[in-house]
A and B are shown apart, each in its own frame.
Chain A
Amino acid sequence: MGSLLQIVFDALSLGSLYALGALGIALIFGVMRLVNFAHGDVIAACVFALLWPSVDAVAIVFAGNLPWFLLIPFVLAVGAGLSVLSELVVFRRFRRANPATMMIASFGLGFVIRYFLLMLFSSRPKSISLLPTLSQPVEILGARIPLLQLITILVTVAVLFGLTAFLRRTRFGLEMRAAAENFTMARMLGVRANRVIMGAFALSGALAAAIALILGSQTGTANIMMGANVMLMAFIATVIGGMGSLAGAVLAGFLLGTVATVMQVILPPDARAFRDAFVYGAVILVLIFRPQGLLSARGTKERV
């Protein structure tokens, strides 16, 4: 019983990370048909924003010492700010470019961010202790669940509810949903393209920051590559979910987290090292039977 519960929590917390990442990608894809591969590097940048630049192995903590009620808004602001900045400096110039060009631009931007971090911090992973109280376990029905896992799941659920309410109940949310479906038509109804796109980037960046906080606390390290794995899984989740479908992205994120966790348990020990190969195999199977994604995306219509 206890170990089963453990698996459930593992799956949910890993799925939460993927779902948050997939949402960040799907939000931007929805309004501008851009697959933002720089998303993972924004995650890493958010973690490094807590440290002073140094190439030493020991991290010199800067904002990481702030109390949590300042630390969290600070990291969220860094993520949102960096993301909006990438829109202003890079992606705005590719508005009329085709999706492949935009995707390559996002790869370029990702490399720029990564090498900038490399220059300031070196490629050595640094150990940090972020929100250390969260690593203590709590007992639930005989299972010892790290507090952080619990919080990760709760935060993700809260984010999902908050985002849904925002999209359904606010004027900005309405405009964003309209723009995601038919950008040109929304503009012809007076919806300001730049505002909607910047809003999507800000939200996406804040989601990246949330992942950064979770990953940083979970692993206790800052590593310039730390966003890459989440980004890859999150991207796959948006594809499986149906590009542009937010609900699909979340669903597929949780599904991937579950599959990965279950594989870890049921695969014979010798095969566990190849877990990801099995996960990707499952992904291929899904896409063979549902190439349009689980929840087929609305409004993949051409945007002018």
Chain B
Amino acid sequence: MSLLALSNVSVRYGRLTAVRGVTFTLAEGEILFITGPNGAGKSSLLRAIAGVAPPAGGRVDFADHDITGQAPEDIARLGLSMVPEGRDVFGSLTIEENLMVGTGMHSATRGWKARAASELEAVYATFPILKERRHTQAGLLSGGQQQMLVIGRALMTTPRLVAIDEPSLGLAPNITDQVYERLIALRAERKLTLLIVEQSSTRAMMVGGRMMLMRGGEIVLDGDARALGQSEAMQAAYFGYGEH
């Protein structure tokens, strides 16, 4: 049973086609890395899934719902949490307020406040610096701290799937390790499904799981991260040898 299924999804900005005919499925608890060079359409693909840039064609299904062209808030409420590139913290809100924004989607369910409080503690346990500075305005944080904040904020909504655009961007390597440790622990604990965009395949090879390579808006390779990462096909496809 797949949690996320894309069929023939394309994304266009005006005349520019950023994603063309992408099809794949993602099972619950799976970890998928999407890698590829700049401008391959990785971020556009994530934006299409999250409903921010509605697909120009194709269909997206998530948790047994057709979410093609749905509003971002409705998709988020189904349990798809998106961490876009560019660290979109709410700069004038405190760290804690940033973390709490997304918990409101559960306010109709019983005991949501207690659950939000325990999620908050879990995020603080992963990133103690956020707890230390929890009443600080998020705009005053360093780039790395902001990155921790947006990842923590996405986890606060108790999602079924987290889609993260370049989690390691701007993070010190040891912090990146912590982020991945936490994500993988959550995957084991509650079958959290992970969709991670990284420009390089290094992290995917370390963590393992499934990896897809995008180029020119299409998926050109799909397979086991470790096996693919070492293959010559990967090198060739990444840099596009022999196509020019």
Chain A residues with a Cβ under 8 A of chain B = 171, 174-175, 177-178, 181-182, 184-193, 298-299, 304
Task: Please indicate the chain A residues that have their CB under 8 angstroms from the CB of B90 in the complex.
Answer: 177-178, 181-182, 185-186, 299
Chain B residues with a Cβ under 8 A of chain A = 50, 52-53, 71-73, 76-77, 81-82, 84, 88, 90-93, 97-98, 100-102, 104-105, 107, 139, 153, 157
Task: Please indicate the chain B residues that have their CB under 8 angstroms from the CB of A193 in the complex.
Answer: 71, 73
From known contacts A171-B104, A174-B97, A174-B100, infer whether A190 and B92 are also in contact, taking CB-CB under 8 Å. no
Beyond A189-B157, A190-B104, 17 additional contacts (C-beta under 8 Å) are A175-B101, A177-B97, A178-B98, A182-B90, A187-B52, A187-B71, A188-B81, A189-B105, A190-B157, A191-B73, A191-B101, A191-B102, A191-B105, A192-B73, A193-B71, A299-B90, A299-B92
Q: Are A185 and B84 in contact (CB under 8 A)?
A: yes
Chain B: which residue is nearest A301 at the CB level? Answer: B88
How long is the Cα–Cα vector from A181 to B139 in the complex, in angstroms?
A: 11
Contact check: which of B53, B73, B92, B139 meets A187 at CB < 8 Å? B73
B241 to chain A, nearest CB (A): 36
Task: Please indicate the chain A residues that have their CB under 8 angstroms from the CB of B104 in the complex.
Answer: 171, 174-175, 190-191
Q: Are B102 and A181 in contact (CB under 8 A)?
A: no
How long is the Cα–Cα vector from A190 to B80 in the complex, in angstroms?
A: 10
Task: Please indicate the chain A residues that have their CB under 8 angstroms from the CB of B102 in the complex.
Answer: 189-191
How long is the Cα–Cα vector from A189 to B104 in the complex, in angstroms?
A: 9
Secondary structure of the A contact surface, majority rule = helix
Q: Are A298 and B92 in contact (CB under 8 A)?
A: yes
The 10 A-B residue pairs whose C-beta atoms are closest, nearest first, are A190-B105, A189-B102, A187-B72, A190-B76, A185-B88, A187-B73, A178-B101, A181-B90, A298-B92, A178-B90
Task: Please indicate the chain B residues that have their CB under 8 angstroms from the CB of A171 in the complex.
Answer: 104, 107
Task: Please indicate the chain B residues that have their CB under 8 angstroms from the CB of A182 in the complex.
Answer: 88, 90
Q: Are A177 and B76 in contact (CB under 8 A)?
A: no
16 intermolecular pairs with C-beta atoms under 8 Å apart = A171-B107, A174-B101, A175-B101, A175-B104, A177-B92, A178-B97, A181-B90, A184-B72, A185-B90, A189-B81, A189-B105, A190-B76, A190-B104, A191-B73, A191-B105, A298-B91
Q: Are A181 and B100 in contact (CB under 8 A)?
A: no
Q: Are B91 and A189 in contact (CB under 8 A)?
A: no
How long is the Cα–Cα vector from A203 to B104 in the complex, in angstroms?
A: 21
Q: Are B52 and A304 in contact (CB under 8 A)?
A: yes
Number of A-B contacts (CB under 8 A): 75
Task: Please indicate the chain A residues that have their CB under 8 angstroms from the CB of B81 in the complex.
Answer: 188-189
B81 to chain A, nearest CB (A): 8
How long is the Cα–Cα vector from A304 to B50 in the complex, in angstroms?
A: 13
Contact check: which of B53, B73, B84, B139 meets A190 at CB < 8 Å? B73
Q: Are A181 and B101 in contact (CB under 8 A)?
A: no
How long is the Cα–Cα vector from A178 to B158 in the complex, in angstroms?
A: 19
Chain A: which residue is nearest B163 at the CB level? Answer: A188
Task: Please indicate the chain A residues that have their CB under 8 angstroms from the CB of B52 in the complex.
Answer: 184, 187-188, 304
Task: Please indicate the chain B residues that have their CB under 8 angstroms from the CB of A298 in the complex.
Answer: 91-92, 139
Task: Please indicate the chain B residues that have their CB under 8 angstroms from the CB of A177 in the complex.
Answer: 90, 92-93, 97
Q: Are A188 and B92 in contact (CB under 8 A)?
A: no
B181 to chain A, nearest CB (A): 24
How long is the Cα–Cα vector from A188 to B161 in the complex, in angstroms?
A: 13
How long is the Cα–Cα vector from A184 to B73 in the complex, in angstroms?
A: 9
Chain A: which residue is nearest B106 at the CB level? Answer: A190
Chain A: which residue is nearest B107 at the CB level? Answer: A171
Chain A: which residue is nearest B50 at the CB level? Answer: A188
Chain B: which residue is nearest A186 at the CB level? Answer: B101
B102 to chain A, nearest CB (A): 4
How long is the Cα–Cα vector from A185 to B105 in the complex, in angstroms?
A: 14
Task: Please indicate the chain B residues that have their CB under 8 angstroms from the CB of A189 in the complex.
Answer: 76, 81, 101-102, 105, 153, 157
How long is the Cα–Cα vector from A299 to B92 in the complex, in angstroms?
A: 9
Task: Please indicate the chain A residues that have their CB under 8 angstroms from the CB of B72 in the complex.
Answer: 184, 187-188
B139 to chain A, nearest CB (A): 7
Task: Please indicate the chain B residues that have their CB under 8 angstroms from the CB of A191 in the complex.
Answer: 73, 101-102, 104-105
Task: Please indicate the chain A residues that have their CB under 8 angstroms from the CB of B157 in the complex.
Answer: 189-190
Task: Please indicate the chain A residues that have their CB under 8 angstroms from the CB of B153 in the complex.
Answer: 189
Q: Are B73 and A178 in contact (CB under 8 A)?
A: no
A241 to chain B, nearest CB (A): 15
B19 to chain A, nearest CB (A): 17
B78 to chain A, nearest CB (A): 10
B67 to chain A, nearest CB (A): 13
How long is the Cα–Cα vector from A66 to B153 in the complex, in angstroms?
A: 50
Q: Are B100 and A187 in contact (CB under 8 A)?
A: no
Task: Please indicate the chain B residues that have their CB under 8 angstroms from the CB of A188 in the complex.
Answer: 50, 52, 72-73, 76, 81-82, 84
How long is the Cα–Cα vector from A189 to B105 in the complex, in angstroms?
A: 8
Task: Please indicate the chain A residues that have their CB under 8 angstroms from the CB of B88 in the complex.
Answer: 182, 184-185
How long is the Cα–Cα vector from A182 to B88 in the complex, in angstroms?
A: 8
Task: Please indicate the chain B residues that have their CB under 8 angstroms from the CB of A299 in the complex.
Answer: 90-92
Q: Are B76 and A187 in contact (CB under 8 A)?
A: yes
How long is the Cα–Cα vector from A187 to B71 in the complex, in angstroms?
A: 8
How long is the Cα–Cα vector from A174 to B94 in the complex, in angstroms?
A: 11
How long is the Cα–Cα vector from A193 to B105 in the complex, in angstroms?
A: 12
